[in-house]
A and B are shown apart, each in its own frame.
Chain A
Amino acid sequence: MGEVGLEAYLFVGAVLFVCGVVCMATKRNGIGVLMGVELVLNGANVNFVAFSRYTPLGLDGQATALFVVVLAAAEAAVALAIALNYYNNHLTIDVDRGNELQG
């Protein structure tokens, strides 16, 4: 067990990011896709905070991470409203059925 450094946190962030991307790509449930987005944003946040601790960037990384958290909350609210509308119109949350939206 070596000393915990910057790389270890970056690895955790990379794993979170990849899990989120795979979740967004493979889930057919709209809410599942939203959860993938949350995972991606959290992976980025882990990177921001790790850089703010282990490099002379100081507080900038944490401030950016706070903005990301707030933006993620706002995005979840709007996306959920859209998902509810989608469910009201299609009576399903399967994103593959959304191909009528074109145009």
Chain B
Amino acid sequence: MTEQLLFWVFAILTCGGAVAVVATQNVVRMAFWLVVSLGSVAALFFLLHADFLGAAQLLIYVGGTVVLLVFGVMLTASGHTIKVQASPAEVMLGSGVGLVLLFVLLFGINSVDWADVSARIPAAGDSPAVVDETQDRHLREQLASATTPEEKAAAEEAIQAVHARRQAGRTVRQLGLSFYGLRPDRDLNQPAGQSLAAGYLLPFEIISIHLLVVLIGAAYLARAKRRATSGPGVDL
């Protein structure tokens, strides 16, 4: 019940913030609504059991990217440029096309049987399923009332399985290992002889180099050119 309520609150905040970004003409207010929308998306990530991703969204997007955009607004805004409006005809055309696109997407999402689709995907070793609290309590009662060693061992094993599933909401260690190329979430408890699941070591290295190139490129693009030729005899 709480989860549903939180979902609706943050879904409405996300969609409302996005619509407000489109509807507002002032760039600074657009940045504010973008913060509202992206922050609510981070909350949705937490609701989806993606704790590390939600934190990364807050740190990188809300703390980094939006601040960068606000600096861009401050460096480029001078009086008349802070409000550059599109003509009403363009706004009507754009929102009409947007509405059509929205209806196409909603119709497409509605017409697909997602349970059937996910049933056709080969299951991972431990899919992040919903943890059943009552099952956990039931298993603990079983362990308490167990008399023979066999019963006790079986109950402990079942409890460990439930705890393994509870790790579903804690993704930091699994994500870090997957960036090293290890996939314990897919490779553990699998039949022997099966090939190992693919990790993300190569994409991780590529994106590291990409970030370095981007930083150098951004610094090169944004350098002050007018000062470069001002020195005597210095030709850059």
Interface residues of A (CB under 8 A from B): 1, 3-12, 14-23, 25-32, 34-36, 38-39, 42, 45-46, 49-50, 52-59, 62-63, 65-67, 69-74, 76-78, 80-85, 87-88, 92-94
Contacts and interface: CB of A to CB of B under 8 A. Distances in A.
A8 B5 CA distance: 13
A49 B51 CA distance: 11
The main secondary structure of chain A at its interface with chain B is helix
Interface in B176-216: 178-179, 183, 185-186, 200, 203, 207, 210-211, 214-215
12 contacts: A8-B11, A17-B105, A29-B84, A35-B34, A53-B50, A55-B118, A55-B121, A58-B185, A72-B61, A73-B64, A77-B68, A85-B222
Interface string B7-26: 11001001100110110000
Contact of B175 (A17, A66, A87): A66
A21 B100 CA distance: 12
A22 B21 CA distance: 10
B5 to A, nearest CB: 8
B53 A46 contact: no
Interface residues of B, number: 86
B34 A57 contact: no
Given A39-B18, A49-B48, A54-B114, A77 B72 contact: no
B232 to A, nearest CB: 23
Interface string B61-84: 100110011011101110001001
Contacts of A56: 118, 121-124, 127
Contacts of B81: 29, 92-94
A69 B174 contact: no
A38 B127 contact: no
Contact of A12 (B14, B49, B94, B127): B14
Contacts of B127: 56, 58
Given A4-B3, A28-B85, A93-B76, A22 B123 contact: no
